Amino acid sequence: MIFDTHLHLIDRRALHYPWLSNVPALNRDFLYEQYALEARRAGIEGAFHMEVDVHPNDIEAETAHMKALAANTDSLLRGAIASCRPEESGFPAYLERVHGNPFVKGFRRVLHVVPDEVSEGTLFRENIRRIGRGLTFDLCVLPHQIPKAITLIDLAPDTTFVLDHCGVPDIKHAIEHPWREHVAEISRRPNVVAKISGIVAYANPDEWTVETLRPYAEHVIASFGWDRVVWGSDWPVCTLGGGLSTWVAATHALLKGTSSDERTKLLSANAKRIWRV
């Protein structure tokens, strides 16, 4: 069975997503019921909702919306990685509110959609340090930004970081450098976990095969080791490269020849341990 650490739900009736107008392929509703049907067929037993960069006014409403969905009978939702703005002075108060909500398992601020100066700011770095133990911070960065992420990590040794999407390699153009070296370097930090998630979206949708993905997934796993990797679908973004079931099938193919213990760690056990599910 699989635990999905990276599920996005889009409900335009309930929340506002300013960026969607620039991505026509995703500019529609992707609702829980649609995901759950396919997820159960693919062997997914639980999931964390990953923030979808809603309008800042909707950040806490997004978490509340997902918590309500999780309360439904037999829901796959086990928690949420919430949106945040560590660059703002109101973050400590927000963090205090979140600490009283066990549904929130961590935070994310997508860093490749804002100037690098945002994450390099003194207030941003101080607030990331405030997260400390118990909650995680997802790093969604492009390969050339990984060194900046490393600097942030080194300044917050008590915070657990999660590198999303294998560090977003440019699989479509078969570019492995300097991504490969940056991944090896970031993996040296013991407070970082890597997410093998949705990399089909970064490959040529009409041409990729399992062997196209293999050098990237295997390098991340080899760098971090089997105890520091988790799995994520990145649904519905993964639909850009074939969809949820296709990505699950590719994952199983990538793991052929590994031990049962190794597969279990990546697909579910590590996530349950890290986030205490």
pLDDT at residue 133, as a whole number? 84
pLDDT level of residue 243 (50, 70, 90 thresholds): very high
Q: Over the chain, what is the mean pLDDT?
A: 97
pTM score above 0.75? yes
Nearest Cα to 80, choosing from 58, 46, 107, 100?
Answer: 107
55-76 pLDDT per residue, tens: 999 999 999 999 999 999 999 9
Count of alpha carbons within 13 Å of 258, Cβ hemisphere only? 19
Supply the pLDDT for residue 184.
98
pLDDT at 14 over 90: yes
Three-class SS of 86-138: CCCCCHHHHHHHHHCCCCEEEEECCCCCCCHHHHHCHHHHHHHHHHCCCCEEE
The neighbouring-strand residues paired with 193 are: 162
